[in-house]
Amino acid sequence: MAKRLDSRAPGFAAAFAALVEEKRAAEPDVARDVAAIIAAVRARGDEALIDYTKRFDRLALTPERLRIGRDEIDAAERACAPKVIDALRFAAQRVEAYHARQRPEALDYIDAQGVRLGARWRPVSAAGLYVPGGTASYPSSVLMNALPAKVAGVARIVMVVPTPDDALEPAVLAAAKLAGVSEIYRIGGAQAVAALAYGTATIAPVDKIVGPGNAYVAEAKRQVYGVVGIDSIAGPSEILVVSDAKSDPAWIAADLLSQAEHDVAAQAILITDDAGFAARVETEIASQLATLPRGNIAAASWARFGALIVLGSLDEAPALIDALAPEHLELALDAPERLAARLNHAGAIFLGRYTPEAIGDYVAGPNHVLPTARSARFASGLGVLDFMKRSSIIGCDEASFAALAPAAIALAEAEGLGAHAHSLAIRLGRARDQ
């Protein structure tokens, strides 16, 4: 049964703190196994990928079959229903347009001492995209991961996707083609992450790896970080809905279940100022669970991690929202901007009663790859800057160097770094001799 909290009840602060600190992802200890897989891929390359794919995905491959060919991709696109292709194109256009506005501008100026300062941005050379495979995979996630890389100007975008029993959703390949993915390989798990990080005879290494996966994939990303960049370690999905009694309880119930159906460890929370409305939403949840295709998953998530929080006033909500730092935050209110302006921590904020989280999953435009497990306190959703890096630009002439050097020499000497100080002082000496 979902938790029920009331801010006017004794013990609310302790109960809410327990909700905030609750661990939902009971990850198995896979570090040793993952380390062995990575070592095998580094040592044996394609041979290890083929062995692990046969073992875990029940699929026999050869080096030539690791890569999914253009003919297979085109055939998959033809196998998709026209309405799916149209929807993918529509979504891609909106996602690409939104992310195009994230492109950073170069910085270049001369300061008061005559020093040229600036910054320039360049894309990573190659990005790797991990996509969960099989028939329960998500073409929308392909768009969300690949299109920011495309907008950033990444020249080589590589996708890995497991195909257990040789099964793969055609829309995933269609989305990859639409998003400009350069290469696709039918491998998954920690071994795919290792191949992206270190390379094999068939797969050249990349500079950054993004995309969600199971505990083995997450641990592999942890272990290869530093050799390559990574986006984040994704946790179970979560949604927090703030609503007053003016909303339709059936709508709010549907929104909560839209995330609960992802995973038994997902979390859905309602904050409201009306106990009767909370009860009506709970009744609607029970009714809708009986009809959902993934009702068993959603029911387990709601029973174990769901929560209904009733406040004396919604003025209490900002502090609670910031403490939860939710991945998805819906403000189903008449004037949601007023509450949103008071918030600091949320992955994505959905304004008003006609902006369900699901619209953001597919076609709104902003990225649906968002920080989970309260990491919105310090992290952002995936974007163009995740595929770019910034280089500082510094340029002195003789006069501007002379203006800066004495202070730099004093600091170098204070730190006991004589070669630093000499590198500076020798130029002042040359300037005096000329």
For the chain, domains (ranges, CATH) are: 31-230 (3.40.50.1980), 235-378 (3.40.50.1980), 396-433 (no CATH)
CB-CB contact of 197 with 207 (8 Å): no
Which two structure tokens, joined as six digits, stand for 353?
């009663």
Specify the pTM: 0.93
From 169, 261, 284, 327, the catalytic residue: 327
Rounded to whole angstroms, what are the CA distances from 38 to 42, 107, 199, 362? 6, 40, 11, 34
Give the span between the Cα atoms of 62 and 38, in whole angstroms.
19
Cα dihedral 200→206→212→218 (10° resolution): 70
Q: What are phi and psi of 18, to 5 degrees?
A: -65, -40
Output phi, psi for 63, to 5 deg: -55, -35
Would you call 328 a catalytic residue per the annotation? yes
Annotated active-site residue in 99, 328, 345, 368: 328
Q: What are the pLDDT tens digits along the chain (434 aa)?
A: 899 999 999 999 999 999 999 988 766 789 999 999 999 999 999 999 999 999 999 999 999 999 999 999 999 999 999 999 999 999 999 999 999 999 999 999 999 999 999 999 999 999 999 998 865 679 999 999 999 999 999 999 999 999 999 999 999 999 999 999 999 999 999 999 999 999 999 999 999 999 998 899 999 999 999 999 999 988 899 999 999 999 999 999 999 999 999 999 999 999 999 999 999 999 999 999 999 999 999 999 999 999 999 999 999 999 999 999 999 999 999 999 999 999 999 999 999 999 999 999 999 999 999 999 999 999 999 999 999 999 999 999 999 999 999 999 999 999 999 999 999 999 998 543 43
